Amino acid sequence: MTADNRSLLGASLLNAAGSMPLHLSPLIVAVLMADGVDTILAGGSRAVVLIGQLVTVIGLPLFNSLRLNRRHSLAGAAMMIVGLGISVDWLLAGWFIVGMGCGMLTYLAVLTAAVHSRPNYAFNVRLGVTMFMAGAAATVFNLMPLTTYSILTVVLVALLVMLLTVGVGLQIPLDIPAPKRTTKSESGFAWLTLGFVFVLAAGQSGVLAYSLQQANHRGMTLMEVLWALVVIKLVSGVGLLLLRKHKISVVLLGGLLAVADLTVDNALSVVPFVAGLLVLDITFNLLTSKVQALAAGIAPVLVGKWTQTLILIGSASGTMLAAQAIEGNLPFVYAARAIAESW
């Protein structure tokens, strides 16, 4: 394994660990509520993770460090573990610290992918490993009788320690190249491309929120939906890894996205619903990777430093916009489909 790919694999595992709290947030919130925590406080745990991540991913680029090493990973890992421990007694304070650790690890992973010699390959690997690990973790959590929040945190810490240990062991110091000079048009294109990343992140989280609401209204049980999401994460992760070396047309991805959107919109049973969501998830992630790689080919340091900030803000705003659209009976899915077809 080349040093470039070893660093990428280590960073991808760290990214998987850093993304885990958000991927598992529906289950975490459900366990908190079952353990007697009120709905607003339980839901706030996810919100403060996002805020903690934003604090880190906005703050780190301002230090303009040109070298990342194991100290950064260990600091992020320590914040996640300590934060989880604190959250048992001080829920929101603990999850805020967890969020800061998540932000540090995901920032490191995106930067590693952006400066990789093959950014399209690197972004697919990063997302593929993350999705697969999230699906594997969700499988473990769904199979275990997690009766209390304390038990959940112990299991989550054990999973994170395994991921973090392997990720840090594979990681090698990353020398970030000095930002290369770009023309005004190149710089503008890079920022425009990152704007598309923001739109995709908002669209993905919005479509997921809409899909979960529709599943409930169409008679699908919560357990069916939870297992559907697990399967989608696992298969999406494998699909992204298998396609890591392939360059797929943006037009084809946009067409598949539109078909998947229509399928989810009209599905009346769990099989077509899951099939549509699966295609939607894979194409969304492939499109996001492709767009990030395009921008990284022009301005790798810029992309590495600011992509995660845009994704987090897009995800948060997409969920809120979808909630407003669902509440007001607005044609959210048709708007999402128009965005998909515009590619």
Q: What pTM, to 2 d.p., does this model score?
A: 0.81
C-beta of residue 199 within 8 angstroms of C-beta of residue 314: yes
Most confident of 9-13, 136-140, 244-248, 317-321: 9-13
Instruction: Name which residue leads in pLDDT, 247 or 326.
Output: 247
State the pLDDT at residue 299.
81
301-304-308 Cα angle (round to 5): 150
Residues 33 and 60 in one domain: yes
Residues 205 and 332 in one domain: yes
C-beta of residue 29 within 8 angstroms of C-beta of residue 45: yes
Chain Cα centroid distance, residue 34: 26
SS3 247: coil
What digits encode the pLDDT tens for the residues 263-315? 877 777 777 877 888 888 888 888 888 888 878 877 887 777 888 888 888 77
Token match 């659209």: residue? Answer: 325
Confidence at 179, pLDDT banded by 50, 70, 90: low
Give domain status of residue 268, yes or no: yes
Cβ-based neighbours of 40, under 8 Å, separated by 6 or more: none
What digits encode the pLDDT tens for the residues 90-133? 999 999 999 999 999 999 898 888 888 888 889 889 989 999 99
Euclidean distance between CA atoms 163 and 14, whole angstroms: 7
pLDDT at position 58 over 80: yes
Q: Mean pLDDT throughout 6-20?
A: 92
Euclidean distance between CA atoms 252 and 43, whole angstroms: 37
State the pLDDT at residue 339.
44
Residues 52 and 193 in one domain: no
Domain count, the chain: 2
Confidence at 159, pLDDT banded by 50, 70, 90: very high
114-115-119 Cα angle (round to 5): 55
Confidence at 222, pLDDT banded by 50, 70, 90: low
First-to-last C-alpha distance (Å) of the chain: 36
Give domain status of residue 128, yes or no: no
Give the structural domain span for 248: 183-343
Farthest CA pair distance, the chain: 57
Euclidean distance between CA atoms 258 and 339, whole angstroms: 9
pLDDT at position 24 over 90: no
Residues 44 and 191 in one domain: no
Half-sphere exposure of 26 (CA within 13 A, CB side): 14
What single string gives the DSSP state of each residue in 249-277?
-HHHHHHHHHHHHHHHHH--SHHHHHHHH
Q: Tell me which residue of 95, 6, 104 sits closest to 59, measured CA to CA.
A: 104
Euclidean distance between CA atoms 310 and 294, whole angstroms: 16
What digits encode the pLDDT tens for the residues 30-56? 888 888 888 788 878 888 998 999 999
> What share of the chain in percent tops pLDDT 90?
21
Cα 105 to Cα 11, 231, 325, distances in angstroms: 8, 25, 33
Give domain status of residue 205, yes or no: yes
Euclidean distance between CA atoms 31 and 144, whole angstroms: 12
For residue 320, the 8-state DSSP code is H
Residues 87 and 204 in one domain: no
Residues 160 and 232 in one domain: no
39-63 and 25-34 are packed helices; what angle lies between their axes, rounded to 10 degrees? 140
Residues 165 and 231 in one domain: no
Confidence at 319, pLDDT banded by 50, 70, 90: low
State the pLDDT at residue 343.
37
Give domain status of residue 157, yes or no: yes
Residues 283 and 163 in one domain: no
Half-sphere exposure of 268 (CA within 13 A, CB side): 0
Beta-carbon count within 10 A of 334 CB: 11
Pairing of strands 67-68, 174-175: antiparallel
Euclidean distance between CA atoms 94 and 16, whole angstroms: 20
What digits encode the pLDDT tens for the residues 271-281? 787 788 888 88
Residues 214 and 275 in one domain: yes
Residues 139 and 198 in one domain: no
Residues 150 and 107 in one domain: yes
